Structure 1
Amino acid sequence: MNFITLKNITKSFNGVDVLKDINLTIDEGETLGILGRSGSGKSVLINMLRGTLDYKPDSGKVLMNVAVCPNCLTIEPPSKDGEKCSCGCDLSVQEVDFFNCDRKLFAAIKRRISIMLQRNFALYDEETVIENVMRAMGDGIDYEEGLYKALDLLEMVQMNHRITHIARDLSGGEKQRVVLARQLAKDPMMFLADEPTGTLDPQTAVKLHNTLKEGVKDEGITMLITSHWPEVMTELADKVVWFENGEIKEEGEPQTVVDNFMATVPVPEKPEIPEFGEPEVVLEDVKKHYYSIERGVIKAVDGVTLTINKEEIFGIVGLSGSGKTTTTRMLMGLTDPSSGKIEIRLGEDEWVDMTKVGPLNRGRIMPYIGLLHQEYSLYPHRTILGNLTDAISLELPAEFGKIKAIHALTTVGFDESTATSILDKHPDELSVGEKHRVALAQVLIKEPKLIVLDEPTGTMDPITRVVVTDSILKARTELEQTFIIISHDMDFVLDVCDRAALMRGGKLLDIGTPEDIVNQLTPDEKEDMLKRG
């Protein structure tokens, strides 16, 4: 049954069309996949269907067929036409012009729409997991009924072992699963998922995808999902729409559309491994042990020894919890090791001890290190130009600063025209994938000697991944930079890294070429980390 019809939808921001004459129908119970590179209009459409007023169409209509109770304004999907509402009245289907209907009807429809956004956990940090889920149910539900419903939802998202934990203490993947339970607790008639697994490791992402299938798709709830992972489209969607530059390029059967989209993704050409310079980063028997009353000694990192050379692109790979991020934090001086040696070369014969605090010790090397963390943040009230220059204390003449900013943006995949046009925009005017690239440009513009990238491909579509791969290889050659890449994305590591280290359970198991490391992966690790096979 037809549920939503988009008729000639056009939407512009600052004079730029981001959606152009979109015509689309969505049936009740259908899962629609929306594919496309960053900035193609995917997230704009999701926010429009959410009813966000800033995304109201400039022209065209969002028409919804909904079953409405004339007495209490209960809203149900159109298949409920003729059924009894809880108040005793009959539900009757109406075609509603979403953004131009009565204010109370608009609000009633919005309450039946749930959304998951990338990088937005939206939890009550000081409350427990189960309290967060029960809050989403509202006041009209009996406490005991709500409690059992919350427990069922947390079991579905595999978080029933964390019900009494405070939300702020959860990992990013755990928070995202609690958000999903909260959204399902609202009993939605439509579920919108905008890159819900973009920042998660593959193992956690698979759990979330399975829950979306079990808790949304299999329950007959209409779902729209955007993703830069093609396999999400083929596994979850009934129909896929490929967006490009604000227009529908193709619509149809998931595998066909995905194959056609992937055919446009170039394959990066990896150059021969160059001759490396002298050792630049040295770790010897580095350990990080925590002490827990419940679990005793936790060996997050247990005796890591490795050497990274000048101008090398070095990967540290492993599944979530393997110790790779903790190792990197110690290398950067953000976490102190329990024991071991960590040194970074500052000059020809000068080494900095990263275990010693203060401006005369590890503080001396920090201006020469660039870090892109997976939870990066841009300054929201500064323009993109400000984020790339003033906000990072890069004091340059105005015109030169602009030229350098445009060069940094083209390095991470923007064409020169787009790079110029976004300089005066603020971060919230960009898509998440575009913001990710700006954050990477913010690291590269300082031209540090050592660059650490923590999960750099998290929110990138396949085409942008290739551009970023080429950018890293180019920066190494032109600027003689050394890269350390922390990732669960083994395909990216194969494309860009010269050597890699495999971590598992806090230990460093092997160091070699990325191809060597692939041979050391367990079947489960290959399934979670290697998409190309």
Structure 2
Amino acid sequence: MDFITLKNITKTFDGVDVLKDINLKINEGETLGILGRSGSGKSVLINMLRGTKEYMPDAGNIIMNIAVCPDCLAVESPSHAGEKCRCGGTYEAKEVDFFNAERKLFASIKRRISIMLQRNFALYDEETVIENVMRAMPEGVEYEEGLYAALELLEMVQMNHRITHVARDLSGGEKQRVVLARQLAKNPMMFLADEPTGTLDPQTAVKLHNTLKEGVKDEGITMLITSHWPEVMTELADNVIWLENGQIKEEGDPHVVVDHFMETVPVPKKPEIPEFGEPEVVLEDVKKHYYSIERGVVKAVDGINLTINNEEIFGIVGLSGSGKTTTTRMLMGLTEPSSGDIKIKLGDEWIDMTKVGPLNRGRIMPYIGLLHQEYSLYPHRTILGNLTDAISLDLPAEFGKIQAIHALVTVGFDEKDATLILEKYPDQLSVGEKHRIALAQVLIKEPKLIILDEPTGTMDPITRVNVTDSILKARAELEQTFIIVSHDMDFVLDVCDRAALMRGGKLLDVGTPEEIVDQLTPDEKEDMLKER
């Protein structure tokens, strides 16, 4: 049945049309995939269909065919017309202009729409997992009924082993799964997912995709999902639209549209491996052990030895829990090792990173750039402010602007867009655009050593190629050394000269990315290789 019809939808921000004359039909129970690079309008469309007032169309209408109980204004999808409501009334078919609906009806419709946003966990940090899910249950649900329903949902999202854990103590992937359980607890008639797996490792992302299929698609709930992973579109979507510059460029069969979109993604040209300089980073027998009440002694990193050379692009790869992020944190001085030596060369001198203070690792920190997986921008500063003042880059105003534009061009913006974006604020940009700005924030300081933790998390394929080219260009022009921590083996193959494979806290092998691929287990290949 026809559920939602978008008629001539246009939305403008700061004089720029971010959606232009969108016409679209969404059927009840359909899963619609929304494909497109960062800034194409995907998130704007999702937030508009959520009913967020700031995203109300400037032109056009969103027409919804729904079933409404006239007695209590309860709302259901259109196929429920004629059925009995919980209050005793009968659902009646009704056509509604969403943003022009009467206030109470508008609120009733919004309550039946669930949404998962990028990088937004929206949990009660001090409450347990089970309490978080029970809070999301609809009004009128008895405690015992809600408890059993919450337990079933947590089992579905594979979080039933964490029901008594406080939300703040969960990992990012675990939080995202609890968010999904909360949204499903609301018993939605429409589910909106905006890059729900953008920051997750492939293993966790697959679990979330399976849950979306089982808990949303297979239950007949209408779903709209945006993703830069083509396989999400082909596995979950019944129909796909490709957005480009705010317009629908193509609509149709997921496999056909995805293939056409991927044809526009350039293939990065990896240069021959250059001759490296002398060793710049050395780790010798580095260990990080800690004690857990549940697990006893945990060997997060267990005696690794590693040498990274000047001007090398080096990957540290492995699945979640392999020890790669802990290794990087020890290298940066953010986590103290249990034992071992960590040294980084500054000029002709080796700095001991296990020793604190301005005369030890404090001396080299200004020369190290870090893009953390959980990066953040200053929300009340413009992009220019984020790139200059906010990171204490002491430059004359005009020179600072030139450097900021250069940094934005380096991470894939064209010069015109880079100039326009400088006066915008982070909340005016897509998550993918903010990700690139965070990378530009690192590159603008021109550090000697750059550490990138899962740099491709929220990037669409075209942006990913731009970032690959940016890293190769930065190495060539600025003689920089890169350490890339990633579970994205395709990206490592494209950009890295050598890589180290970690598994269970141990460093198993070091070699070219192609040699490391040969060392992967079948499960690792399935989770870490997408395109080859």
If the length of structure 1 is used for normalisation, what is the TM-score?
0.99
State the distance in 2 between where 1:493 and 1:89 align: 59
State the distance in 1 between where 2:320 and 2:118 align: 18
How many angstroms does 1:359 deviate by? 1.4
2:326 aligned partner? 326
2:102 aligned partner? 102
How many angstroms does 1:358 deviate by? 1.3
Which amino acid is the alignment partner of residue 448 of structure 1? P
State the distance in 1 between where 2:294 and 2:413 align: 49
Which amino acid is the alignment partner of residue 268 of structure 1? P
C-alpha distance after superposition, 1:335-385 (max 9, x if no partner): 00000000000112x111111111111111100000000100000000000
2:363 aligned partner? 364
2:489 aligned partner? 490
State the distance in 2 between where 1:196 and 1:59 align: 29
Q: How does 1:46-85 map to 2 (within 5 A)?
A: 46-85=46-85
How many angstroms does 1:488 deviate by? 0.2
Which amino acid is the alignment partner of residue 159 of structure 1? M
State the distance in 2 between where 1:145 and 1:86 align: 15
Judge conservation of contact 2:314–2:499 (CA < 8 Å) in 1: yes
Which amino acid is the alignment partner of residue 253 of structure 2? E
C-alpha distance after superposition, 1:413-465 (max 9, x if no partner): 00111000010000000000000000000000000000000000000000010
State the distance in 1 between where 2:291 and 2:379 align: 38
1:440 aligned partner? 439
Q: How does 1:171-190 map to 2 (within 5 A)?
A: 171-190=171-190
1:205 aligned partner? 205
State the distance in 2 between where 1:161 and 1:88 align: 39
How many angstroms does 1:388 deviate by? 0.2
How many angstroms does 1:194 deviate by? 0.1
Which amino acid is the alignment partner of residue 374 of structure 2? E
2:170 aligned partner? 170
SS at match of 2:216: helix
Q: How does 1:122-521 map to 2 (within 5 A)?
A: 122-348=122-348, 350-521=349-520
Higher alpha-carbon deviation: 473-482 or 77-86 = 77-86
1:15 aligned partner? 15
Judge conservation of contact 2:138–2:185 (CA < 8 Å) in 1: no
State the distance in 2 between where 1:108 and 1:139 align: 12
State the distance in 2 between where 1:172 and 1:47 align: 22
SS at match of 2:303: strand
Residue ranges of structure 2 left out of the alignment (5+ in a row): none
How many angstroms does 1:251 deviate by? 0.1
Judge conservation of contact 2:299–2:505 (CA < 8 Å) in 1: yes
State the distance in 2 between where 1:189 and 1:275 align: 59
C-alpha distance after superposition, 1:161-188 (max 9, x if no partner): 0000110110000000000000000000
SS at match of 1:64: strand
SS at match of 1:218: helix
Which amino acid is the alignment partner of residue 59 of structure 1? A
Which amino acid is the alignment partner of residue 476 of structure 1? R
State the distance in 1 between where 2:505 and 2:173 align: 19
State the distance in 2 between where 1:148 and 1:253 align: 39
Question: Which consecutive segments of 4 or more residues in structure 1 shift more than 6 A?
Answer: none
How many angstroms does 1:218 deviate by? 0.1
Which amino acid is the alignment partner of residue 390 of structure 2? A
Judge conservation of contact 2:382–2:422 (CA < 8 Å) in 1: yes
C-alpha distance after superposition, 1:259-305 (max 9, x if no partner): 00000101000000001001000000000001012211000000111
2:525 aligned partner? 526
How many angstroms does 1:317 deviate by? 0.1
Judge conservation of contact 2:487–2:528 (CA < 8 Å) in 1: yes
How many angstroms does 1:138 deviate by? 4.2
State the distance in 2 between where 1:116 and 1:110 align: 14
State the distance in 2 between where 1:403 and 1:219 align: 53
Instruction: Give the length in aligned residue pairs.
Output: 532
If the length of structure 2 is used for normalisation, what is the TM-score?
1.00
State the distance in 2 between where 1:304 and 1:175 align: 30
How many angstroms does 1:33 deviate by? 0.1
Q: How does 1:31-42 map to 2 (within 5 A)?
A: 31-42=31-42
C-alpha distance after superposition, 1:104-160 (max 9, x if no partner): 000000000000011000000111000000001144211111110000000000000
Judge conservation of contact 2:138–2:187 (CA < 8 Å) in 1: no
Q: Say if 1:139 and 1:3 are closer, same or farther in 2 by CA, change over 3 A.
A: closer
How many angstroms does 1:84 deviate by? 1.1
Percent identical residues? 86
State the distance in 2 between where 1:93 and 1:280 align: 70
SS at match of 1:65: strand
Which amino acid is the alignment partner of residue 342 of structure 1? I
State the distance in 1 between where 2:277 and 2:411 align: 26
Higher alpha-carbon deviation: 353-362 or 372-381 = 353-362
State the distance in 1 between where 2:250 and 2:466 align: 23
Which amino acid is the alignment partner of residue 252 of structure 1? G
State the distance in 2 between where 1:425 and 1:471 align: 23
State the distance in 2 between where 1:107 and 1:42 align: 23
2:120 aligned partner? 120
Provide the alpha-carbon RMSD of the alignment.
0.5
Higher alpha-carbon deviation: 479-488 or 354-363 = 354-363
How many angstroms does 1:93 deviate by? 1.1
SS at match of 2:219: coil
State the distance in 1 between where 2:505 and 2:213 align: 33
State the distance in 2 between where 1:138 and 1:196 align: 23
How many angstroms does 1:526 deviate by? 0.2
Judge conservation of contact 2:450–2:481 (CA < 8 Å) in 1: yes
State the distance in 2 between where 1:159 and 1:273 align: 44
Judge conservation of contact 2:157–2:211 (CA < 8 Å) in 1: yes
Which amino acid is the alignment partner of residue 512 of structure 1? G
Higher alpha-carbon deviation: 253-262 or 85-94 = 85-94
State the distance in 1 between where 2:78 and 2:315 align: 51
State the distance in 1 between where 2:406 and 2:461 align: 22
